[in-house]
Amino acid sequence: MQEECKPTMNTGLRGVTVASTKVSDVIGAEGKLIYRGYLVTDLAARTSFEEVVHLLLHEKLPDKEELEHIKQQLTAERHIPGALIDALKTCPSDSLPMDILQAAVPMLANHDPEAADQNKEAAVRKAVRLIAKLATVLAAWERIRTGKTPVSPDPAMDHAENFLYMLFGEKPDSDLVHFFDVALVLHAEHSFNASTFAAREVASTRAHMYAAVSAAIGSLSGELHGGANVRVMQMLKEIDTVDRVKAYINTVLDEGRLIMGLGHAVYQTDDPRAHILAPMAKRAGELAGETKWYDISTVLEKEGKAAFKARKGIDIYVNVDFYSASLYYAMGIALDLFSPLFAISRVAGWTAHVIEEQYAGAAPKPTLYRPQSKYVGEYCGPDECRFVPLDER
């Protein structure tokens, strides 16, 4: 008989520590998210996405010279192969943008002579390439699927500004550039969530950076992970007016459904990122001439928390998706690009984790992931499997 292994429940690995990491930490009880020793609230207030990329990949905040260098590297890597653009043009316009992003990754590998190079310096270069190029792929796809010509990257612009420029085809408003840069910082890393674990699991086999990032994008595409911000916006649209918020909450809770954007598997306070995104959502709404979605969100937060307390006797808190939805919507970004926006930021965290997984940034050295499962199927014989030939079945 098979040896019993523990735990035997379908735990989803909750509460199981599978590795050590120096990349980030979430202190759920205190509402703190920390990238390599720095609070994300400080990073969002005082750094750019490029600085955070340097922090995650090189384990330190850059000095001025290093910042200039990482910016140059990212800028130099923004272009994507013409063959990839041609391939995107063959995809149906209703292809899911997360599928497009995921499909682009192995194609980028095919055009990278260093794809299979296993040394650490090459891995860092591949990380920079992926961070730079995924933004270009996403912007190009948005243009192509809406019948427009992809916009070439502008080397004079930083990462956030250049992405919005490639997406919309015109120089973006400076406030929106700042908001998007902050959003990129806030979404860049979040410890061992499902997609990061997927990346690390693939990396643990010594597969290359592109294979790991492709797996991570697939993981992020699920509605329980990267898809929640879209669901928040759909919910806001369903509510439609502030005076319908209370009735909506009651209906949803009566039916045992979820209020999207509330609750978190790790935080036992408001998600620190939500408090940074909220004022930006408000301002972006004002710039767009429509604060309705932000207004509904604030009332929903207040009334949702109160209803939850009254019904269940427990507190519930806002998560990162609650206000990013109305922010992105006010910026004029299509709903189905919300999760891909998450991906083009989180790729910085994924690649940092892949490097750590493969080059042992934290002791003890990582090993090949190989969990066990408990077999609950049948054995065909009394002591062992008895094969039944085809004509006897």
Ligand X SMILES: CC(C)(COP(=O)(O)OP(=O)(O)OC[C@H]1O[C@@H](n2cnc3c(N)ncnc32)[C@H](O)[C@@H]1OP(=O)(O)O)[C@@H](O)C(=O)NCCC(=O)NCCS
Give contact residues for ligand X (rule: CB under 6 A). 228, 258-265, 316, 319-321
Toward ligand X, which CB reaches closer, 34 or 316? 316
Give me the residue whose beta carbon is nearest to ligand X.
263
- 117: alpha, beta or left, given left = phi > 0 and alpha = psi -120 to 50? beta
> Per the residue annotation, which of 54, 187, 208, 264 is the catalytic one?
264
Q: Cβ 25 to ligand X, closest distance in Å? A: 17
Toward ligand X, which CB reaches closer, 67 or 299? 299
Q: Cβ 309 to ligand X, closest distance in Å? A: 11
- Clarify whether 264 is annotated catalytic: yes
Toward ligand X, which CB reaches closer, 145 or 273? 273
Q: Cβ 108 to ligand X, closest distance in Å? A: 28
Q: Cβ 344 to ligand X, closest distance in Å? A: 18
> Per the residue annotation, which of 58, 111, 178, 225 is the catalytic one?
225
- Clarify whether 42 is annotated catalytic: no
Q: Which strands sit side by side in the sheet containing 32-35, from one edge to the other? A: 24-27, 32-35, 38-39
Inter-axis angle of helices 64-76 and 120-145, nearest 10: 50
Quote the CA–CA distance of 302 and 201 in Å, as a whole number.
39
Helix, strand, coil tally for the chain in percent (to 5): 60, 5, 40
Q: Cβ 378 to ligand X, closest distance in Å? A: 32
Q: CB–CB of 186/348 below 8 Å?
A: no
Toward ligand X, which CB reaches closer, 145 or 190? 190
H or E element that contains 235: helix 228-239
> Per the residue annotation, which of 159, 270, 321, 353 is the catalytic one?
321
Toward ligand X, which CB reaches closer, 89 or 309? 309
Q: CB–CB of 210/126 below 8 Å?
A: yes
Quote the CA–CA distance of 67 and 50 in Å, as a whole number.
7
- Clarify whether 154 is annotated catalytic: no
Residues classed as catalytic: 225, 264, 321
